[in-house]
Structure 1
Amino acid sequence: MARMPSAERRRQLTEAAIRAMARDGVAKTTTRSIAAEAGVSLSVFHYCFDSKQALVESVITTLTDHSVSVVTRALRPRATLADTVRAGFQAYWDHVRAHPDEHMLTYELTQYALREPGFEHLARRQYELYGIAYTDLIQRLSQGRDLRLRVPATALARYLAAMTDGLTLNYLVLGDESAWADILDTVVTHVAGLVRAH
């Protein structure tokens, strides 16, 4: 087995955990199955993660990064603010459609963390990360534009996180892709309306 820096090995194991958890469920995924998925020994796993909490936190952070990174890349300035907002939401939606198991896993992780004694703070951390991610995206959206938010950035970030959360779960449950275009139009109009030029 090739040696690699511990940070890279942690990333490898985290991605393996995501695949295993998405396939088998959080509760059924063991450290042994994650190590096997990553092609490493169990001792390597325990060297990189000293607890299941540390692993779950790494999985939550990585799943959030997966979604945020595609939106961040899409948020380059476009002709109008609405076009830029639409591009960000479209990128997120494309990620949901391409990786539904990852998004389903985020909900399972939330429930798991809330029910598992001592893990509750990880569910809180998951939603704090969503708020931080949206706050960063709002700041990125404002760069180079003379904009004023109609609501505080933190309130808008939490609102967007809750709305995206609900829309994602709605799609995962109902599987109605055709409804997304109408929903996207409504979301873009609403979000753009919460921002105005100076």
Structure 2
Amino acid sequence: MSGELTERVERVRLAQVSSRLSVEERRAHLIEAAIGLAEKKGVAGVTTRDVAQAAGVSLGVVHYCFENKDALMTELVKALSMELRDSVDANESVWQEAGSGNTALRDLLRAGLELMWLNIEATPQRQLLTYETTTYALREGEQTPAKLAIAREQYNFNDSTVADILDHARDATGSTWRVPVSQLSRFTLSVIDGIVLRWLVDNDSESVRTQLDLLAQALAGHAD
């Protein structure tokens, strides 16, 4: 079967699948198509027409689900953030067997960071995409404030995710934070951003785990 024919058959199959989806399922399907495209060609190069073609639906379906590309990109960054949140929640036993005290808090935070890191390490292209969505939003935001909102939404959501993890760790170990969780989450996210970006450059996973040890220790130092 020729490449062109294979592609045509795949589009028909995708269209048939899409026709059976609910609105929420169709939105998720389009977001995943957008992520796949953005991983290959960058956020700036993705159009709603590209997404429609990749998902095997009409352009009208995309605009029915998302008002415009900015709305789609906003949901894209949320989806990427949810993947990290889900990776930390994946092993509930980590939280249930935490113990108590500062050492237990440090170990629990480190275990949570490890779960997050395993997801990051397995998806380097998606991690690069998170930085691209931020720079895309900042670069375009000067002319279009709605694009700047994409970056702010991304970081607000990630701040909330990290704050939830910190609160979960606090409760699981009977600890108390001496610093507002909003500040701790902002600090944690900033450090993780830097760690991941450096890893994308040098691919030194061993060094990453040392940095995560230091981060867990630093965070635990702000708790009683």
The reply to whether TM is greater than 0.5 is yes
2:137 to 110, 113, 131: 113
For residue 119 of structure 2, what is the aligned residue in structure 1? Answer: 95
RMSD: 1.5
Take 2:220 and 2:172, find their aligned partners in 1: how far apart are those partners? 16
Matched, 1:10 2:27: yes
Aligned AA for 1:76? W
Query: Which one has the bigger helix percentage?
Result: 2
The aligned amino acid for 1:104 is L
Partner of 1:154: 182
- When Rg is computed on C-alpha atoms for both structures, the one with the higher figure is 2
Query: Structure 1 vs Structure 2: percent identity of aligned residues?
Result: 35
Match of 2:95 in 1: 76
Which of the numbers 58, 83, 99 marks the counterpart of 1:66? Answer: 83
For residues 81 and 152 of structure 1, what CA distance do their matches in structure 2 show? 16
Count how many residue pairs are aligned between Structure 1 and Structure 2.
196
Pick the aligned partner of 1:179 from 179, 183, 207: 207
Partner Cα distance (2:170, 2:210) in 1: 25
Amino acid in the other structure paired with 1:139: D
Q: Can you give the 5+ residue segments of structure 1 that lack an aligned partner in the other structure?
A: none
TM-score for the superposition, normalised by structure 2 = 0.82
Q: Say which is worse superposed, 122-131 or 73-82, in terms of deviation.
A: 73-82
Shift of 1:71: 1.4
**Shift in Å at residue 145 of structure 1?**
3.2
**2:21 aligned counterpart, secondary structure:** coil
Comparing 157-166 with 71-80, greater Cα deviation is found at 71-80
Tell me how far apart the structure 1 counterparts of residues 88 and 172 of structure 2 sit (CA, whole Å). 18
Scaled by the length of structure 1, the TM-score of the pair is 0.92
